[in-house]
């Protein structure tokens, strides 16, 4: 036997279903689904919703879209479909060298917005401190500019580079440093996925040579004005090769 409480509950559920069905029939409900942009020519970008096969026209609310980009599409009947946000899947790669290498190259998805590369590295060149360079798309064209500040114990210094062939992104140790000492640092690159022809970076790094008088800390940043899209990030030592045991991690969202 159904009591008053159970009956009231069933009536409430029926009323909720009726309201939902009426809202859907009137086009008053919105839905948000992930999708992939498949075309950007013509009047509107086209995207395919996850689980569908037919492309639909979307109006971007998040700036310029490009093919292959993952977005959230909001369906607003009867107004249309709107790209209301980007889907930035996490990205991570790590390279720990088993033998010496003249460079380390990472392939970075063009859907990543923010890139961070960290390292603990040492080179075989006969020096205590080695500068670490970074290149975008393996380009050595004069499209890099940077500035850094450095503290070497109580001595401060700074430098500027414009229209150079690579960024300065930090420091590592060389073969003249005490055994087992590796320099470390982090470089952050912004707006990787924007494709606007300009990337900015900031970095912080440190390296200790053969004694306390040879401790260096360098920070800085810069701009790359080479053509988009961006697909690779390369790290190159100023001299020599990275030795085995050098470790590099790149992450992005």
pLDDT digits (tens, 9 = 90+) for 163-211: 999 999 999 999 999 999 999 999 999 989 876 668 999 999 999 999 8
Q: What is the pLDDT along the chain (253 residues), one digit of tens a residue?
A: 555 555 555 665 665 466 556 555 555 567 788 888 888 877 789 999 998 999 999 988 887 777 777 888 988 877 788 888 777 667 899 999 999 999 999 999 887 888 999 999 999 999 999 999 999 999 999 999 999 999 998 899 999 999 999 999 999 999 999 999 999 999 999 989 876 668 999 999 999 999 878 999 999 999 999 988 899 999 999 999 999 999 999 998 7
pLDDT of residue 27: 54
CA distance 109 to 44: 24
Closest CA to 83 of 63, 67, 98: 63
pLDDT of residue 177: 97
pLDDT of residue 15: 59
15 phi, psi to nearest 5 deg: -65, -40
Q: Answer whether 16's CB lies under 8 Å from 8's CB.
A: no
pLDDT of residue 76: 80
Distances (CA, A) of 41 to 35, 66, 73, 83, 227: 17, 9, 18, 16, 20
Closest CA to 105 of 136, 131, 127: 136
Question: Tens of pLDDT along 132-156?
Answer: 999 999 999 999 999 999 999 889 9
Q: For the sheet with 70-76, list strands across it.
A: 56-57, 46-49, 31-39, 70-76, 80-86, 59-60
Q: Answer whether 146's CB lies under 8 Å from 166's CB.
A: no
């Amino acid at each position: 036997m159904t009591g008053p409480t159970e009956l009231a509950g069933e009536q409430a559920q029926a009323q909720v279903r009726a309201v939902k069905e009426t809202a859907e029939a009137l086009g008053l409900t919105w839905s948000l689904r992930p999708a992939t942009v498949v075309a950007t020519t013509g009047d509107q970008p086209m995207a395919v919703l996850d689980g569908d096969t037919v492309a639909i026209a979307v109006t971007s609310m998040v700036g310029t879209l490009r093919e292959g980009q993952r977005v959230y599409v909001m369906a607003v009947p009867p107004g249309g479909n709107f790209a209301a946000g980007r889907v930035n899947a996490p990205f991570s790669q790590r390279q720990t060298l088993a033998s010496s290498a003249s460079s380390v190259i990472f392939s970075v998805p063009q859907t990543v917005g923010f890139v961070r590369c960290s390292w603990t590295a040492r080179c075989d060149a006969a020096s205590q401190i080695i500068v670490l360079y970074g290149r975008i798309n393996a380009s050595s064209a004069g499209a890099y500019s940077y500035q850094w500040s450095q503290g070497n114990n109580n001595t401060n210094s700074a430098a500027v580079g414009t229209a150079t062939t690579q960024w300065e992104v930090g420091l590592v140790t060389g073969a003249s440093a005490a055994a087992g000492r590796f320099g470390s640092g982090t470089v952050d690159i912004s707006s990787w996925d924007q494709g606007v022809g300009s990337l900015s970076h900031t970095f912080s790094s440190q390296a200790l040579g053969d004694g306390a008088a040879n401790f260096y800390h360098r920070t800085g940043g810069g701009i790359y004005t080479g053509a988009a899209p961006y697909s690779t990030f390369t790290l190159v030592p100023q001299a020599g090769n990275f030795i085995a045991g050098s470790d590099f991690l790149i992450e992005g969202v």
